[in-house]
Structure 1
């Protein structure tokens, strides 16, 4: 039996929790999670940033960890994967400028494969043009990106998740329990305790 593979698109200053927690949780469930970044190979690292909600008008940002990539970006083939994870942080802002990243996201959408995006990950979905007529949650500051891409921004509390078909989205890392559970369900996995 072959291991089911999930692609995780990371980049420098990806949000720490939104990268490490899905990577670890999905690995624990038996998925092979290929974490990739343009112009980097397996074993290279990306810097993460920790975003926190401390009562200011927006999140605060602190240095995170070095996150080791597990696969080569140049070898990504959408057909090899059962799902896609798009963490937030500042990485989606610049990853959306990479044509190959856009093609990958579009490939997952065209194949109707499960896509999980959290927080600023919606910026990448919007840039890929896959939100037209779709519902998408995200960090509130990304609501305009969702709407300008033809989607409906779903404003929910930070610990909630929104699912529409193959698209599993959430506003921020406090949603991890619900967001990851919903993604795993859309992937078709069954967890028995």
Structure 2
């Protein structure tokens, strides 16, 4: 019996769409994350790693969807191969399986992983530079506050406990405590 074709899809934010990834590929199961690739603890990826068995093939749109760090990428690929699971990166047209070692593919994986990691570093550097310039011009205000500190203080003054305030506003207890310190 041959294994399953399992898809892994990742987008960085909830607003992004994953429709283009693995479009038209016949898959038995799909695992998806809407979280940064720099995060190694991803629910969908963790579920995929628990789900796959020897003989399965994991399909990923491109290398950067699986990992943004070369070390993590190589670790994930080795883990899958060690379990007898093959992995295919469709955009790069690279396939890895435990029974077919291919030094050229391994080199390409390492090089492309490093390029994606470098690209991400450049994006973050440009973002930091842009924010610094915006701050110098006085146009960068930072992230909007997500908690109305005035509302927290009013609820506390009315005698409501910290825990009740957190529950009422759907925020954490530590957020209530921080808002009351301001």
Q: TM-score range by the shorter chain?
A: 0.3 to 0.5
Larger Rg: 2
Q: Per chain length, whose mean CA-contact separation is higher, i.e. which structure has more relative contact order (CA < 8 Å, sep 6+)?
A: 1
Q: Which has a greater percent of strand?
A: 1
Q: Which has a greater percent of helix?
A: 2
* TM-score (structure 2 length as normaliser): 0.33
* TM-score (structure 1 length as normaliser): 0.32
